[in-house]
């Protein structure tokens, strides 16, 4: 054995009897009652126990029980010296009991001290205590030496087996506690991830819709201050209303996605290009359902890319290509380029930045930049 094995205490989980199962707790109480019964039988079977002798015997039993209870508490707190002091007092009581004619209680106390010391103390302290206790038992016991030796060895083994059993029970208790903590952390992590996903959905929908509405409403305000014609002002208000309707529709889609009620990604892209002039979509590869996060990433990037084309190159032709590969799905959005639109200066370019962050959270990537004719946005998401 290593030095740490000799000096290491049994764990508190192993020493705490309150953590025992119901059958083990019942067995422990039965053993205690048997020990108490042996002590009472050993005390009151003596013919010289009467009067003050009986009172002294009962007081000795009470003191012994209190010392044993205190020993269990100090070992549970891993307090070595108080534990050794209590065992010393118990061994001394056994000597007194033997000297005054109470042989059976003395033998019970010696055996109990030897077994519990091995079970509850560090081995470096338990071995000497057990040796003294069992040696005292051997010196007093009047059986043949072979029977006494077998009994001593059996009690020493019993104490060590109880120690091993307690350690195994303590290890199991610690593993159970760690497993519960890991499950709680996993549930908390899952809840935080779901909150982050909901926050991204709300941001993607509201930031896009409200920023566009603000642009149109600000333009309408400036037109009113400058005394512009009614038709121009109405055009801006109608545009803001249209953006509000689109935002409401996107919000409903986001709520459906959060509930797991999303339509197939191909149908969504077809509806998206149908509402945009000069846009088309192509799907390549074996179609299959995508995970919710991957599907949402494709939908949001497609929406953002078409919005940017409408904002920065109105009238440009747009081609969307969705390609299924074995381990990833790729969305490619290309436009033919065009003259800058009147909304070019609106926004701060956070849309594609948010999409790139969403893709990176999924282990994918998003590239955006000039192409041969216009602008190209490419999303790759592992599935």
The helix or strand, by DSSP H or E, that contains position 381, with its residue range, turns out to be: strand 375-382
Lookup: tokens for 134: 């069992």
pLDDT exceeds cutoff 80 at 185 = yes
State the Cα angle at 75 between 71 and 79, rounded to 5°.
Answer: 105
**Surface-to-core class of residue 93, CB atoms within 10 Å of its CB (0-12 exposed, 13-18 middle, 19+ buried):** buried
Q: Tens digit of pLDDT for each residue in 160-184?
A: 888 888 888 778 888 888 888 888 8
Q: Give the torsion sign (CA, 359, 365, 369, 374).
A: negative
Checking 177-185 for CB contacts under 8 A at 24+ apart, the result is none
Pairwise CA distance, residues 343 & 237, whole Å: 15
Above 70 in pLDDT, residue 62? yes
Name the average pLDDT for the chain.
79
Q: Which two tokens stand for residue 7?
A: 């000096």
Mean pLDDT of the region 295-301? 84
Side by side, the strands of the sheet bearing 318-324 are: 279-284, 318-324, 328-335, 375-382, 365-370
Q: Which residues contact 142 (CB under 8 A, 6 or more apart)?
A: none
pLDDT value of position 89: 92
Query: What is the per-residue pLDDT for 41?
Result: 60
Count the neighbouring beta carbons within 10 Å of the beta carbon of residue 327.
6
> For 7-24, how does the pLDDT look when each residue is reduced to its tens digit (9 = 90+)?
888 887 777 766 656 666
pLDDT value of residue 176: 82
* pLDDT tier, 344 (very low <50, low <70, confident <90, very high otherwise): very low
Of 31-35, 95-99, 185-189, 361-365, the range with the lowest mean pLDDT is 31-35
Chain CA centroid to CA 13, Å: 21
Q: Is the pLDDT of residue 347 over 80?
A: no
Alpha helices (H) along 47-102:
52-76, 80-99
% residues pLDDT > 90 (the chain): 8
With cut-offs at 50, 70 and 90, classify the pLDDT of residue 70: very high
Q: Is it the case that residue 323 has pLDDT exceeding 90?
A: yes
Nearest Cα residue to 129 out of 100, 90, 73, 161: 90
Rounded mean pLDDT, 35-45: 59
Residue-wise pLDDT tens digits, 142-155:
777 788 788 888 88
Round to whole Å and give the CA distance between 85 and 78. Answer: 13
CB 303 within 8 A of CB 276: no
Q: Which residues contact 374 (CB under 8 A, 6 or more apart)?
A: 309, 313, 316, 334, 335, 336, 337, 338
Give residue 322's pLDDT band: very low, low, confident or very high (50, 70, 90): very high
Q: What is the DSSP letter of 17?
A: G
* pTM attached to this predicted model: 0.47
**pLDDT higher than threshold 50 for residue 1:** no
Of the listed ranges 68-72, 127-131, 203-207, the least confidently predicted one is: 203-207
Residue whose structure tokens are 């190159």: 313
For the segment 231-264, what is each residue's pLDDT rounded down to a tens digit? 888 888 888 887 787 777 667 766 666 666 567 8
How far apart are the C-alpha atoms of 310 and 376, rounded to whole Å?
A: 14
36, pLDDT greater than 80 = no
Residue 6: per-residue pLDDT: 83
Q: In angstroms, what is the C-alpha Rg of the chain? A: 41
State the pLDDT at residue 379.
Answer: 92
Question: 264-383: what fold?
Answer: Heat Shock Protein 90 (3.30.565)
* Residue 343 pLDDT class (50, 70, 90 cuts): very low
**161-190: b (≥16 Cβ within 10 Å) or e:** ebbeebbebbeebeeeeeeeeeeeeeeeee
pLDDT computed for residue 42 by the predictor: 55
Q: Where are the domains of the chain?
A: 3-142, 264-383
> Per residue, what are the HEC states of 94-121?
HHHHHHCCCHHHHHHHHHHHHHHHHHHC
């Amino acid at each position: 054995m290593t030095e740490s094995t000799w000096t290491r205490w049994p764990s508190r989980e192993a020493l705490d009897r309150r953590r025992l199962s119901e059958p083990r707790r019942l067995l422990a109480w039965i053993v205690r009652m048997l020990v108490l019964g042996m002590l009472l039988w050993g005390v009151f079977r003596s013919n010289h126990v009467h009067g003050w002798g009986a009172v002294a015997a009962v007081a000795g039993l009470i003191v012994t029980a209190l010392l044993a209870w205190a020993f269990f508490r100090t070992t549970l707190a891993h307090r070595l010296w108080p534990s050794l002091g209590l065992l010393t007092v118990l061994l001394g009581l056994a000597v007194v009991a033997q000297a005054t004619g109470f042989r059976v209680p003395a033998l019970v106390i010696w055996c109990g001290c030897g077994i519990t010391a091995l079970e509850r103390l560090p081995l470096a302290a338990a071995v000497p205590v057990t040796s003294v206790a069992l040696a005292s038992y051997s010196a007093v016991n009047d059986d043949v030496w072979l029977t006494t030796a077998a009994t001593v060895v059996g009690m020493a083994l019993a104490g060590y087996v109880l120690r091993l059993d307690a350690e195994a029970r303590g290890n199991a208790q610690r593993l159970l506690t760690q497993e519960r903590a890991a499950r709680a952390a996993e549930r908390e992590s899952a809840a935080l991830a779901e909150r982050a996903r909901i926050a991204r959905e709300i941001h993607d929908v509201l930031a896009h819709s409200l920023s566009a509405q603000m642009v149109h409403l600000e333009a309408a305000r400036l037109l009113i201050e400058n005394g512009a014609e009614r038709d121009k002002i109405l055009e801006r208000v109608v545009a803001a209303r249209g953006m509000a309707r689109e935002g409401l529709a996107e919000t409903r889609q986001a709520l459906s996605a959060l509930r797991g009620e999303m339509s197939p990604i191909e149908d969504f892209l077809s509806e998206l290009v149908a509402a945009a002039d000069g846009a088309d979509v192509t799907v390549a590869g074996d179609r299959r359902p995508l995970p919710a996060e991957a599907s949402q990433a494709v939908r949001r990037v497609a929406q953002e890319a078409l919005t940017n084309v409408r904002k920065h190159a109105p009238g440009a032709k747009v081609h969307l290509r969705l390609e299924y590969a074995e381990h990833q799905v790729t969305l490619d959005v290309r436009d033919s380029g065009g003259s800058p639109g009147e909304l070019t200066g609106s926004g701060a370019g956070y849309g594609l930045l948010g999409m790139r962050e969403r893709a990176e959270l999924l282990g994918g990537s998003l590239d955006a930049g000039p192409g041969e004719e216009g602008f190209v946005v490419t999303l790759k998401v592992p599935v």
